[in-house]
Each structure stands twice: as structure tokens, then as C-alpha cells.
Structure 1
Amino acid sequence: MLDFLASNPLIALVVILAIGLAIGRINFFGLSLGAAAVLLVALGFSTANPDILIPPIVYQIGLAMFVYVIGLSAGPAFFSEFAKKGWKLTIFMIALLATLIGLAWVLVKGFGLNDAIGAGMFTGALTSTPGMAGIVELIEGIDPSLAGEPVIGYSLAYPGAVFGSILVAAVGAKLLKVDHREDARKEGLVTAPLVWKGVQLKPEITGRVGDLPRLSGQSIIATRIVDDPHSHRLADPDLPITPGMELLINGTEEAVDKAIVALGEERETKIEDTELVYTRVTVSNPEVAGRTVAELDTVAHGFMIARIRQGDSEVVPKPDTVINYSDRVRVVVAPGRVAEVRKFLGNSEKSLADVNLMPFAIGLALGLLLGAIPIPLPGGTSMSLGFGGGPIIVGLILGALKHTGKITWQMPFHANRTISTLGLALFLAGVGTSAGAGFRQALTDPSSLMYMGGGLIITLASALLCAVIGMTVLKLRWDEAMGVAAGATTNPAIISYLNNQTGTDLANRGYATVYPTAMIGKIIGAQILFLLL
């Protein structure tokens, strides 16, 4: 059977993917490996028969696809958070990676470890598959026969990296008696259910309907003007406020109640048998996706957006809120214009499934071209961002731009996740089979324990530095500091564990803020480490 797979690489690839993804779905005490299990299966097959080898172009395109769509997803949050505290976390992440590179250099030189395997150990300790790919690509230009060695070091250090990070998160939360939900609530990340109530404005309230959030100091939106119990109009943000105006406002119950106190008096308002209706619509129109609420000018199209469901959370829209593919929006519209509004927003699951791959191909091509540009280094050597670094940088930029003219760079949520998982699985399958012979030899060599131990030291140092400096210097809460630690590893298994443990998005915020810097930094840093060795 193994000989058959060795002579049929396409069948071998599919078998490795099928077995690896099946194992990745198995839950061990709240932890599943996901696509990462493909690497272990690929290593197992190629260790048993080193002739089982997936062509390099498979893992190259897989990695490029994976990091590009990650960039598309993380781009908006990365740039929006950067001006706040993101720049501090970015500086911290750069300093952290520099420290860990120094620690790795000391461990490799101090214990007399193999340079290529030691550099791979560093990437495995931080679970950086793109970083490991960068070293492989660099070595292939020097001595192709050594290209499998970084994969060996990566594979030896990888298991300890996952479980070491999770151990720090679990033990730290227990010792510090962290109240995950309360911490998230204090950070404004626990969104209460949204409600609507009627309010009659005080005579002294002046301005425009769109000024009510500012006048009340609350995150609310007015959706209807109540002329009488059976006659409602859309609350056009540009309409002047009139004395005694009665409106329907949406927001969390706390925000709505505080807004009513600031603006006037509560009025019992019924929405049955009125000239307006509520309905939910799925955004699938490429002309809408990637644009802000203000840009859409929804009132001119006969409706208003009362709520936006993004992922598993509902938010009250603001003028600068961006509408994304797959968002479920609750709109207020006249009954006779429901079909028109649905057509404007799309409301087509078929359109979301029939993904336009042209923008994806253009963006990926730009990323690969950027990754191919050589970057000169002292001593006459050079490095490049490679097929991992180039695509993620372009993905970040295009993800933040959202659209350029008629080209929408965004992808529907499910398509993004599917391409991400497929790309990572292809990469891990290809790169795993390239290290079979060396990995089998490493398992019989007692010095392998040195790489495992060295990798674990780097992993624990990374997580503990994120915890200590994150909480004391950067004033982060425990879950967000652990999210930063997970972002330093860029490992989906670790952030998955944190999400299950905390039940909030606080860890996700830290993870998303540092993820791009960590991803790019490890790609560059891993190559620098190898050159320094």
C-alpha cells in the first residue's frame, strides 16, 4: 500500500488529507488539532516510506492561499486597532520576537545543535509554518539536500508548542482566579441583547435625527418616527428634530434606557399594523459588500438598517460600520418595497456560494510577486518574504481597502474559511512528506530530546513574557494577554482552546491585533536566525 502511494502522489495527497482532517476533528479535553493533524499524518506516511513525496508546488500554493485569506480577514481589525493600542502591541511583538530569536540562537549554539534543524525548532516552538517555509525556501537556494532539516526541527518542537501555550493559559487562569465574562464585560465585549423602545424628545433637544447617539452619549440608532400609533416613517438621519418628536430607538437595554433619560420620556410604542415592517436580509450583492452604512445611503433606497449580525454577534450600525458579505441585516422597510430592498442587498445564498474568484486570483498574484522580490542583507546575502510573507501583506492591505472601484476584495465568510483550511492542509501535507527520511532518523537519535526541550523553553518564554508584560506594562486583562500569546504562535488550535475556555471574544481581540505582525515577523525572523547561525 505504501509503495502504491509512493508511485501515485495525487492519491497519496488525498489520502493524507482525508485521514489528517478526520483525526483533526477528534476532541481531546476541549482541544482539537484541526488541519494541523495533516502534518502528523504526512510525517507518519513519509517516515514509513520516504518515497511518498508531494510535489513542492502543492505546499507552496497551499501556504500562499492560507496566509492571503488570513490577511483579508485580519486587515480591517489590524489597521483600525493600530491607532489605538495596536501600535503598542506591535512594538511589543517585534521586541518579543527579537528576544526569542536571541534565545533560540543561544540554545542552538550552547547545546551544539544543527543549524537548520535548530532554526526549524524555533519555528516549531512558535508553530510558524510560514516561517518554516521561509527557511526551507532559503535553504533550497543554498543546498537543496538540506531542505528537509527545518521541517524535522519544526515537527519535533510543534507538539510542545501547542500544549505548552495551553498549559500556561490554563494554569494562569486558575491561579489568578480569572472571571472571564466579567473581564470581557469591563472591556465592552459582552454585547447584551438588543431591544427597541419608544421615546418622546424633550423640547430642548435640537439638531438632526442622526445626532441622537451623540446627544444621548449612547450607542443607539433611531429607526422610526412615530406620527401616530398606526403611522410610522423611516427615521432619516438628515431629518431635523422637531419639538415633541416621538421615535423608536434600538440598542442594548442599558443604552436605550440611558438614552431615554437623556433625550426625553419613554413612550409605549407598538409596531404591529403600521406602514413599516422589519425583515432580515443576507448581504450578497458585491456592490454593497465592503461599503459603509453611510456610503449606501439606505434611506434613499427606502429602508434603514436596525441591526447587523456579524458572525454570532449583533451590533447597532453606525455610519462608519462596514457591511460585509454574509452579514444578516435587520431592516425597516415599507411593505411594498421589501422585494426591492432584498434585491439591493442581494439576499442570495446561491450568490454567496458562487464565489467570484477573479479578485482572489489577482490579490494572490500580487502577493506572490511581492514575496519574490529579494531583500538585500549585509554580507552580500539576501532574503525574501516568500510565498508566505508576500501574500499576507497584500491580503492585509486589500482586506483593509475592502474594494477598489468595482473590484471587491472581500470574500464571503464561509468561502474564506474553506480556502484557509484547504490551503493550510495542502501546505502541511506537502511539507510533511518532505521530511520523512530525516524525521525517522531523528526519532532514533537521543539528541531529538534536545530539540523538543529547546522548543518548549522558547514556547514557555513566549507565553510567560506575554502574560507578565501584557498585564503589568500594557495593562491587558489575562484573557487578552493570552490572546496575544496565541497570536505570537499564530496557531488556530491555541486560540480555539482559549475561546472554549473563556466563552468571550477578549482573547480574539489580542490574537487578531498581533497576528499579522507575528506572522510576518516570524517569516522574516526565522530566516534571519538561520543566517545568523
Structure 2
Amino acid sequence: MLDYLATQPLLTLVLILALGLALGKIRILGISLGAAAVLFVALGLSTLNPDLQLPPLLYQLGLALFVYAIGLEAGGDFFAQFKSRGWKLNVFLALLLVFLSGVAIVVVRALGLDHEIGAGMFAGSLTSTPGMAAMVNMLNSSDPAQSSQPVVGYSLAYPGAVIGSIVVAAVGAKLLKVNHHRDAKSEGMILDPLMWEAVRLRPGIDGTVGDLRDITGQQIIASRVIHGDTDHQLALSEHPLEEGMILVLNGTAEALEAAIDILGEKVHVTLDSNFLRYTRVTVSNKAVVGRTIEELNTASKGFLIVRARRGDRDEVPLPTDVVHYSDRLRVVTTHDRLPEVRKFLGDSERSLADVDLLPFFIGLFLGLFIGIIPIPLPGGNVLTLGFGGGPIVAGLVLGALERTSSVRWQIPYHANRTISTLGLSLFLAGVGTKAGVGFRDALTDPSSFKVIGAGLIISLLNAVISAAICMPLLKLKWDEAMGVAAGMTTNPAVISYINGQSGTELATRGYATVYPTAMIGKIIACQVVLILLL
């Protein structure tokens, strides 16, 4: 059977993907490998039959798709966070990466490890798939016979990297008696449910509806102006505030209470749908995607956006918030304008499924071009960002831009996740079959335990140092510090476990803030480590 599969690469590819993704769903102690299990299925099959190989172009394309999609998704948040607190975390991460690179070089030489396997161990200790790919690419051009060795070291160190990070996160939370919910709430990561209240304005409140946030200092938005019992109007931003006016406000209970204390007195009203209609509309119209709510000027089209549901969380939108594909917006409008509102925003699942891939591949081409630009190093060496680093740089920039004139770089959330998972799976299947011979030899070599141990040391150092520095110096809570450590690994299994353990998204904030820098930095660091070891 294995001999037959060696002659059928397409059949082999699909089998590896199916078995790997199925294995990745199995949870042991709350941990699952996800798409990473594809690597171990590919390794296992190629270890049994070294002739079972997949073309190099396959893993190159897969990795490029994966990192470019990640860059598109993370770009906006990365640059937004970078301006405030993000730069501090990223400087810390860069220094930590330099330190861990030095540790890796010392450990490899002290233990007498094969240099190519040792370099792969470093990539595996931080689960840097693109970094390992960059080393494979370097060796392909200089020493093809050794190009599979980094994959062996990576595969041996990878499990310990995942387990080590998770053990530190779990044990540390127990020892420090971390209150995950309280920490997340104090950091503004847990929002109270949104609700509405009506307020009758007291004398002396001057300005317009658009000034309510500045007047109250609260994150609220007005949806209706009510005169008497029957006159319900949209609360347009230019509407002047008057004594006795009744406004319907949206926000959290705490924000509404504070705002009403300033504005006047709470009153009971009935939001009769005969006057105005509340409804959810999903954004699918490419003409509005990438524009701010202020730019859309929805009031001129007869509706207001009073809530935005992104992911699993409702938020009161700001005028500067950018509208994305798949956003679920709660709008207020009249009955007769509702069809126009739906048409303007899209509200079409079919449109979301018909993804325009032309901008995606234009951006991917730009990323691949960036990846081949040589970066000179002292001693006559050069490194490149490669087909892993170039696309993520392009993805980050284009993801932050959202759109350039009529070109919309973003793609719907679900499409992005599908492409990134497919790309990662293709890469792991291709590179896994490449390392079969070397992995089989490593399994029978006692020195492999040195590789596993060295990788575990580096993984534990990453998590422990992240907590030891980020908590006292950068004032992070435990979960966010562990999110930074997980961001260094760029491993979804690690952050998934931490989120499951904490029940909050606080770790995700640290993870997302440093993820792009970690992804790019490890690609460069892995190549530098390999060059210094050779």
C-alpha cells in the first residue's frame, strides 16, 4: 500500500490531510494538535516509506497562503496596538528572541548536536514553522543533502514546546491563585451586556446628539429622539439637545447609569416597532467594507448603527470604527427604509461566499517578491524573509490599509480562516514527507533525547522569562503575560489551551500584539542561528 502511495502524490496528499486533521481533533487533557497533527502523519508515513514524497512547490505555496492570510487578519490590530502599549511588548519580545537564539547556539554546541538538527530544534522549541522552512530553503540552495535535517530537529522539539508552554501557564496560575475573570474585567476585556435606557434631559445640557460621549465621558450612543408618545425620530448627530427631550441611549448598564446622572432623569418608554425598527444586518457589500462608520454617513440614508457584533461580542461603535466583511450591525431605521438598508450593507451570505480572490493573490505576489529580496549580513552571508516572511509583511501592511482606492485587501473572516488552515495543512504535509529518512534515523539515535531536552529548556525559558519580565515591568496580568509567551510560539494550540483555562480573551490580547513580530523575527533568527552554527 505504501509503495502504491509513493506513485500517487495527489492521493497521498489527500490521505495525509484527512488523517492529520482527524487526529488533530482528538483532545487529551484539554489539548489538541489541530492542523499540526498533519506534520506527524506525514512524518510517520514517510518514515515507513522514504520514497513517499510530495513536491516542494506544495509546501512553499501552503506556507505562503498561511502566513499571508494571518497577516491580513492581524494587520489592523497590530498597528493600532503598536502605537500605545504594543511597541513595549514587541521590543521585549525582540530582546527575548535574541537571548533565546544565543541560548540555542550555546546548548547545541555544548551538547555536540548536529548543527542542522540543532537549528531545527531551535525552530521547534518555538514552534516556528516558517523559520524551519526558511532554513530548509537556505540548505536547499547550499547543501541539498542536509536540507531535511532541520525538519527532524523541529519535529523532535515541537511536542515539548507545546507541552512546556502549557505546563508553565497551568502551574503558574495555580501557584499565583490567578483570578482570571477579575483580571480580564479590570483590563476591560470583559464587557457587560449592552442595553438601552431612556433619559429626559434636564436644563443646561447644551450641544448636539453627536456630543453625548464628550458631555458624559461614557461609551454610549443615542438611537432615538422621542417627542410625546408618538413622535419617534432617528437620533441624528446634528440634532440639538433641548430641555425635556427624551433620548434612547445604548451602552452598558454602568455607562448608562453614569450618563443619565449627568443628562437628566431615567424615564420609562415603550419602543413600539410601529415607529422605528431595530434589526441585525450582516455586512457583505464590498462598497462599504474598509470604510469608517463616519464615512458611510448612514444618517443620510435613513438609518443609524447602534451596535456592532464582532466575533462573539457586542460593542458600541465609534465613528472611526472600520466596517469589515461579516460584521453584524444592529441598525435603527423606519419600516419603509429597511429594504434599502439591507441592500446598502449587503446582508447576503452568498456574497460573503463569493470571495474576490484577485486582490488576495496580488497581495500574495507582492509578499513573495518581498521575500526574495536579499538582506546582506556581516561576513558575506545573506538572508531573506522567504516565502514565509515576505507574505506576512505584505499581509500586515495591506490588512492595516484595508483598501487602496477601489481595491479591497481584506477578505471575509470565514474565508480567511479557511485559507490559512488549508495553507498550513499543505505546508505541513509537504515538509513532513521530506523529513522521513532523517526522522527514522533520529528515532534510533540516543542523541535524539538531547534534542528533545534542549528544545524543552528553550520553551520553558520563553514562558518563565515572559512572566518574570512582563508582569512586574510591563504591568501585565498573568494571563496576558502567558499570551505573550504563546505569541512567541505563534502556536494556536497553546493560546487555545490558555483561553480555555482562563475563560477570557485576555491572553489573546498579548498573543495578537506580538504575533506578527514573533512570526517575522523567528524567520530571521532561525536563519541567523543556522548561519552561526555552520
Same fold flag (TM > 0.5): yes
**Which stretch shifts more, 241-250 or 418-427?**
241-250
- Write the mapping of 1:318-397 to structure 2, written as runs, cut at 5 A: 318-397=318-397
- What percentage of residue pairs aligned between the two structures are identical? 61
Alignment partners' CA distance in 2, 1:87 and 1:281: 36
Query: What's the CA shift string for 1:270-295, capped at 9, x where partnerless?
Result: 11144211011010011111211111
Deviation at 1:207, TM superposition (A): 1.3
* Alpha-carbon shift at residue 26 of structure 1 (Å): 1.1
The reply to whether residue 56 of structure 1 matches residue 48 of structure 2 is: no
Q: Unaligned stretches of 5+ in structure 1?
A: none
Residue 360 (structure 1) shift: 0.6
1:218 has 2:218 as partner: yes
In structure 1, the partner of 2:512 is 512
- Please give the alpha-carbon distance, in whole angstroms, between the structure 1 residues aligned to 2:454 and 2:369: 35
Q: How does 1:66-215 map to 2 (within 5 A)?
A: 66-215=66-215
8 Å CA contact 1:101–1:525 kept in 2: the answer is: yes
Matched, 1:529 2:518: no
1:50: how far off? 0.5
Q: Cα deviation per residue 1:467-518 (whole Å; 9 max; x = unaligned)?
A: 1101111110000000000000000000110111111110000000000000
Asked if 1:3 corresponds to 2:3, the answer is yes
What secondary structure sits across from 1:473 in the alignment?
Answer: helix
2: CA distance between counterparts of 1:131 and 1:211? 50
Q: Is the 8 A contact 1:199 1:249 kept in 2?
A: yes
The 1-side partners of 2:227 and 2:61 are apart by 60
Q: 1:290, 1:239 → 2: CA distance?
A: 27
SS at match of 1:75: helix
Match of 1:452 in 2: 452
C-alpha displacement at 1:27, in angstroms? 1.4
Superposed CA offset, 1:85-138 (max 9, x none): 100001000000000000001001111111111110000000000000011111
- One-letter code aligned to 1:500: G
For 2:456 and 2:376, locate their aligned partners in 1 and report how far apart those are by CA, in whole Å: 32
- Listed one character per residue, the Cα deviations across residues 219-244 of structure 1 (whole Å, up to 9, x for unaligned) are 11011111222221111112222232
Q: Which amino acid aligns with 1:298?
A: T
Give ranges in structure 2 of 5+ residues lacking alignment: none
Distance, in Å, in 2 between the alignment partners of 1:297 and 1:330 is: 15
Q: Deviations over 1:57-105 (max 9, x none)?
A: 1000100000001011111111011111100001000000000000001
Distance 1:373 1:503 in 2: 43
Shift of 1:336: 0.0
Distance 1:230 1:56 in 2: 70
For 2:74 and 2:498, the matched residues in 1 are separated by 18
The superposition leaves residues 330-387 of structure 1 with CA deviations (integer Å, 9 ceiling, x where unpaired) of 1000100100000000000000011110111111111001001111111111110000
CA distance in 1, matches of 2:391, 2:215: 44
**CA distance in structure 2 between the aligned counterparts of 1:73 and 1:265, rounded to whole angstroms:** 43
For 1:356 and 1:425, locate their aligned partners in 2 and report how far apart those are by CA, in whole Å. Answer: 22
Provide the rounded CA distance (Å) in 2 between the counterparts of 1:247 and 1:187.
30
Structure 2: distance between partners of 1:269 and 1:400: 42
Paired AA for residue 466 in structure 1: S
**Counterpart residue identity of residue 232, structure 1:** H
SS at match of 1:233: strand
Distance in 1, Cα, partners of 2:163 & 2:117: 21
Judge conservation of contact 1:403–1:410 (CA < 8 Å) in 2: yes
Report what 1:401 is aligned to.
401
Amino acid at match of 1:329: L
**Which residue identity lines up with residue 371 of structure 2 in the other structure?**
G
8 Å contact 1:229–1:274 — kept in the other structure? no
Give aligned pairs, total.
533
SS in 2 for 1:157: helix
Within a 5 Å distance, the mapping from 1:273-352 to structure 2 comes to: 273-352=273-352
Q: In structure 2, what is the equivalent of residue 482 of structure 1?
A: 482
**Number of the residue aligned with 1:419:** 419
Residue 257 of structure 2 corresponds to residue 257 of structure 1: yes
AA at the equivalent of 1:211: D
- In structure 1, what is the Cα distance between the partners aligned to 2:285 and 2:501? 37
- For 2:456, the aligned partner's letter is L
Deviation of 1:433 (Å): 0.4
Residues of 1 paired with 2:237 and 2:137: CA distance?
55
Amino acid at match of 2:36: A
Q: 2:471 maps to what in 1?
A: 471
CA distance in 2, matches of 1:204, 1:444: 83
- Per the normalisation by structure 1, the TM-score is 0.99
